[in-house]
Amino acid sequence: MKLRENIRNIAIIAHVDHGKTTLVDQLLTYSGTFKEHEQIESRAMDSGDIERERGITILAKNTAIQYKNTTINILDTPGHADFGGEVERIMKMVDGVILVVDAYEGTMPQTRFVLKKALEQKLKPIVVLNKIDRPNARPTEVVDEVLDLFIDLGADDDQLEFPVLYASALNGTSSLEANNQEKTMDPIFETILTYIPAPVDTANDPLQLQVTLLDYNDYVGRIGIGRVARGTIRVGDRVVVLKQDGSEKGFRVTKLFGFIGLKRIEIKEAKAGDIVAVSGMEKINIGETICPADHPEALPPLHIDEPTLQMTFLVNNSPFAGKEGKYITSAKIEERLKTQLETDVSLRVDPTDSPDVWTVSGRGELHLSVLIENMRREGFELQISKPQVILKEIDGKTCEPVERVQIDVPEEYTGAVMESIGERKGEMLDMINHGNGQVRLIFRVPSRGLLGYATEFMSQTRGYGILNHTFSGYEPIVKGYVGGRRQGVLVALENGKASTYGILHLEDRGIIFVGPGTDVYAGMIVGEHNRENDLTVNITREKHLTNIRSANKDQTSIIRKTRDMSLEEAIQYLNDDEYCEVTPESIRLRKKILNKNEREKMSKRSKK
């Protein structure tokens, strides 16, 4: 069996914030891929605005590095389980993975998730313990944790013989030993060449190329990115795309791109093992196979985990509709959602009885909130409902998604956290006391119990707690009430501007969300009540002016700080009878029924 020894294809996988993208930066720099005069930004692979702001990878991306006459194709993958669709596709394009693990934090929920996907594809793993320069790094224990995780996930004997390297991606050092760091990435490169298998050379066989990623260019249209699984593809070739519905569509390869560093370069041909971008087919989709017309043979379809969470997207119909957004009609919103479906394989969009309402399903709150954030930045206005978990019938039983939750907190907060997770029907699996005042708690919790929990958790732990969770599977539904928001809300009585006088008279009723001068409308949520019921309030009222001088006239009124909510916090805060109104400039919470009398009538009916 002939191999293409001058190529290696690997993916970098890790829990979020363990340093994958920073490590890719160093590999690009030390390989000499960038010329001396070229500037490389930190986290060069995270090109999206939201990725840079949040410090997370959302979309998988590929780069190619030249090292000792070998092309190493590296695919940087997301660490969040919400973007698992990206991770699963990438595993089909590579022969091995570099698992990056924080030398202090050790294995985390998403480490388990991404490693499970790699082991299922029988890929060869290399383990890199990153952040080895941290003063509290514990490399020996973390290597044991990684080995336990491999065994727990059913790794075969070959996969268990993984090499371990130690690195500080931030400082650009790596080595084969924990305490002998050198300013080089050679140990990682050499281990890739030695340990990751080279692709099999099948250049003379009929072509097979499965589209795994999509891109778009104004000049050449849609671009399909994938690995040549078999054969050779050339510019000018007449080929067919085997569509997901079983049909065939012929096209001519107009352009072919290879990768070097962060750039795409035009090439004339690519062979088995190469990762390339192909243009010429306007309606190509993820998972479809490109092959010769006289030898149509599709590769197995890509398996993608089903969505676990759904939300209702609606056209904005609040009194402020159309004031801040550019795209506000149902036609524009539907067109945008259809565009997203073309590249996001984990997303589902289903129409409803109303042309202005859609059910949008995804892998989690983060997955859906990133879509909504992108839409508002593009100029869209819309409303969204509280997220709901997706139930499934399995063996005649109604089942719900369940998550594995890992919480790291200072010891003094463990009681409060355990009590609150218990209220959300969580089951404790493990408790590890690290002996330095930090405790790690591991639970299994129904996904609906985690909706809106992040805000409560941060308050409970004074911001010192770290919460991570990943999808575990479906289990029979837990009966009874599972978590949820306890407090009621303060709802504006009428349209107008929030006044200093109105806010001051409400501060003893709860926490205010809006500042003086903010435009509000009847039915808009302007604060959180300090009791469990909702309260309609007049936040726009002004002080009546009289010619009588007050004894305390010179006292200055100071308003407490209002609570600002991010998009994710607002989504988590919602109750069943509320919407979040999202525009390019504002995020507002509102009641579904804006009129006070109608709301009260509906509330009475529901209690009967």
Q: Give the C-alpha separation, 182 to 189, whole Å.
A: 14
State the residue for tokens 């069943």: 576
The Cα–Cα gap between 359 and 311 comes to 6
Q: To 10 degrees, the CA torsion angle through 579, 582, 588, 589?
A: 10
SS3 30: helix
Annotated binding site: 17-22, 130-133
Name the binding residues for GTP: 17-22, 130-133
CA distance 176 to 12: 18
Report the C-alpha gap between 506 and 513 in whole angstroms: 11
Single-letter code of the amino acid located at 356:
D
Q: CB–CB of 583/381 below 8 Å?
A: yes
Q: How far is CA 34 from CA 52, 64, 347, 589, in A?
A: 21, 11, 36, 48
What gap in Å lies between CA 183 and CA 172, rounded to an integer?
6
CB 25 within 8 A of CB 76: no
CA 337 distance to own-chain centroid: 17
Cross-strand bridge partners of residue 495: none
CA quadruple 266, 72, 7, 81: dihedral, nearest 10? -100
Cα–Cα–Cα angle for 512, 514, 576, nearest 5°?
A: 70
Phi-psi group of 476: left, alpha or beta (phi > 0 → left; psi -120 to 50 → alpha; rest → beta): beta
Amino acid residing at 308: T
DSSP letter for each residue of 531-590: SSS-EEE-TT--PPP-SPPPTTTTPPP-PPPPPP--HHHHHHH--TTEEEEE-SS-EEEE
Q: Where are the alpha helices (DSSP H) in 344-391?
A: 365-377
**β-strand partners of 527:** 490, 512
Pairing between β-strand 309-314 and β-strand 164-168 as defined by DSSP bridges: unpaired
> 232 vs 267, 274, 345, CA distance in Å?
12, 9, 27
Q: CA-CA distance, 491 to 528, in Å (whole number)?
A: 9
Strand (E) or helix (H) holding 332: helix 330-343
Of 144, 45, 23, 54, nearest to 370 by C-alpha is 54
